[in-house]
Chain A
Amino acid sequence: MAQSLTPSNIFKDQDRGRSVGKAGEDWKYKFFSYLLLTVIAFTMIVPFMWMLSTSIKPETEILRRNIFPVEPTLDNYHEVINRTDLPLWYKNSFIVAVISTVSVAFFDALAGFVFAKYEFPGKRPIFIIFLTSLMVPTEMLLIPWFIMSSNPPIGGTWVDTYWGIAFPGVITAAGIFLMRQFMQGVPDELLDAGRIDGVSEFGLFWRVAVPLSLPAIGALCIFNFLGNWNAFIWPLIATTRSEMFTLPVGIQQFSSEADTPWNLIMTGASLSVVPLLLVVMIFQRYIIEGIALTGLKG
């Protein structure tokens, strides 16, 4: 069963599940499908077009009713890059996303491996406790986390540190669950053969289980990276200084009490979104199939 759900063949089996109708009707159905899908696809990209178009408008054109700039300019980009902390926010978002993604990939896979392949006293209760933490909305933990990071056991304060932004997400229950489902597909024979060859338990994980689960780990990494890159409420609470803001927090702060610099906001939004769109287009198959997997296995 595990084999039939490896990412590569979820969408491959093109003949399955397609309803079949009479030939003439089928043609009409297809035509309208294409028509409607094109219209919907158009509404999906228009906001991005508007964002990019506004980001190259000079300030004087922002409040005018033209959709495309009359005199396109890169001034907004110069201003955002040179006169705001956006480059720092970029760096922070990246660092935080990398820290938590690396940690999640390692610890979630390791814990998933243990829950899938080991028998030990307390396994069920521990697993259930991990899973029930999924039921507790993070919003409930924000205030305790905030108090904890103001006055933590190690270090003076976690506020305004990368660790302070990243710590709530360095291990995730959902990821452990996903990895457990996957690691169950790792053949026991392989592990036992390794044991007989004197491979250490960690070696079994690192050199047998991980390579066999790379597609799932990859999907987990991508979601985690995206989730952290876009996270808002906790970074908003966990940072006080502009040089520690992440991108979403920074973009939100562009607008002040009396001023909404639309051109800068749209430029910041473009800079935050476009690289991600490129990444998604390159890795789209893994991402989309990874999501599908969570749906089929969750």
Chain B
Amino acid sequence: MGRKANAAGSPRFRWTLARKKIVWAYIFLAIPIVFFAYIRIYPTFFAFQMSLHDYNPLAVEQPYVGLENYEKVVEELSKKKSVTKSAFRNTISYVVFGVPIQLCLALAIAMMLNEIRFMSTLYRILFFLPFVTSTIAIAWVFRMLYQPRFGLFNVILQFLSLPQQPFLTRPQQALPSILALVIWQGMGFAVIIFLAGLKQIPRTYYEAAEVDGASRWHTFRFITMPLLNPSIVYLLVLQTISFLRMFAPVVAMTEQGRGGPLDSTTTVVLRVYREAFQSFNMGYASSLTVVLFAMILGVTIIQLSVTSRRIN
């Protein structure tokens, strides 16, 4: 387009300008390119390379071990019981329960918000507040809310004469308790995205549906859902990835950040952190991150193709 505007100029002017623009483009991009090459791309390959070594940062030598670290991952996963297996199983639980619950709640809230005018800004801010607060800080607040006896939830249960609950201290309840915090904290973000999507749907569609006598459910099913498809796909991908990367809430809410009790809340990233920075098995930890990378890539590709096909 820029070329068209210059067509009136002399050929020489055109040539130098096009060339000048190319030179400037490279100059402007120089620092970003160096940055991506050194801070993003090189470490990606470095991580692959580390996963092929017995990498201990305290040691002088880092021997090459081939695929041994990956064999260890497979071996751990095929054991009846292992921390790594728990980490993968829990991570999948976080995704499988967390993403749908969070998105359904957010969609419901967004649709209600879309109906009202009075105080809608205030509600929007309130739903949004948790999203901007530090996960570590708010996870500690929830950890306290969950405490036996003096935690708010148990105080309320006692007030209602309901039995006291152990929450974070029992394997059966710990993961749902942490999940509740994460859903609570991230919901506002999804609400905003959905709300923006809803606002883009032209009113005439709904009016036409009303003329046809369509029920609320039909309107939702055949107008709202399909037209929200881009927002849904966007959020599905984004939230799945963020649940796959769960770390901070588990560190803040479990005893000594160990992902207990009985590894019932530990995640892949927590496993990576503990292996790399507490046991110094950086090679093995790197191989776990490569597996995580593959999972994220796979999920993204599958979700993008499946979701967009089905709804179209």
In the complex, identify which listed stretch (B72-80, B82-90, B167-175, B286-294) lies at the interface while the others stay far away: B286-294
Q: For residue A148, which residues in chain B have a CB less than 8 angstroms away from its CB?
A: 43, 46
Q: For residue B296, which residues in chain A have a CB less than 8 angstroms away from its CB?
A: 135, 137
- Given A36-B112, A37-B109: A288 touches B129 (CB 8 Å cut-off): no
Interface SS, B side: helix
B134 at the interface (CB under 8 A from A): yes
A118 to B22, CA, bound (A): 7
CB-based contact A226/B17 at 8 Å: no
A216 at the interface (CB under 8 A from B): no
- Given A113-B28, A171-B36, A298-B234: A142 touches B150 (CB 8 Å cut-off): no
Taking a contact as CB atoms closer than 8 A, the residue among A43, A107, A296 that contacts B31 in the complex is: A107
A82 at the interface (CB under 8 A from B): no
CB-based contact A144/B47 at 8 Å: yes
CB-based contact A18/B115 at 8 Å: yes
Interface size of B in residues (CB-CB distance below 8 Å)? 111
Q: Which residues of chain A from 115 to 150 have any CB-CB distance to chain B below 8 Å in the complex? A: 117-121, 123, 126, 129-130, 133, 135-137, 139-148, 150
CB-based contact A230/B124 at 8 Å: no
Q: For residue B308, which residues in chain A have a CB less than 8 angstroms away from its CB?
A: none
A64 to B150, CA, bound (A): 6
- A-B pairs with beta carbons under 8 A, tally: 316
Q: Which residues of chain B from 98 to 127 have any CB-CB distance to chain A below 8 Å in the complex? A: 109, 112-117, 121, 123-127
Q: For residue A123, which residues in chain B have a CB less than 8 angstroms away from its CB?
A: 25
A70 at the interface (CB under 8 A from B): no
Q: Which residues of chain B from 169 to 225 have any CB-CB distance to chain A below 8 Å in the complex? A: 184, 188-189, 192-193, 195-203, 206-207, 210, 216, 219-220, 224
Interface SS, A side: helix
A269 to B141, CA, bound (A): 8
B163 at the interface (CB under 8 A from A): no
CB-based contact B44/A140 at 8 Å: yes
> B5's closest neighbor in chain A, by CB?
A192
CB-based contact B21/A65 at 8 Å: no
A4 to B252, CA, bound (A): 43
Taking a contact as CB atoms closer than 8 A, the residue among A141, A202, A265, A293 that contacts B43 in the complex is: A141
Residue of B115, B248, B297 contacting most chain A CB atoms (<10 Å): B115
Closest CB-CB distance, A232 to chain B, in whole Å?
5
CB-based contact B245/A137 at 8 Å: yes
CB-based contact B28/A141 at 8 Å: no
6 A-B contact pairs sorted by A residue (CB < 8 Å): A17-B201, A67-B155, A202-B28, A248-B134, A252-B252, A296-B200
Apart from A139-B245, A277-B129, list 11 A-B contacts with CB within 8 A. Answer: A11-B199, A20-B206, A41-B127, A47-B141, A118-B22, A142-B272, A142-B289, A143-B50, A252-B251, A273-B137, A281-B125
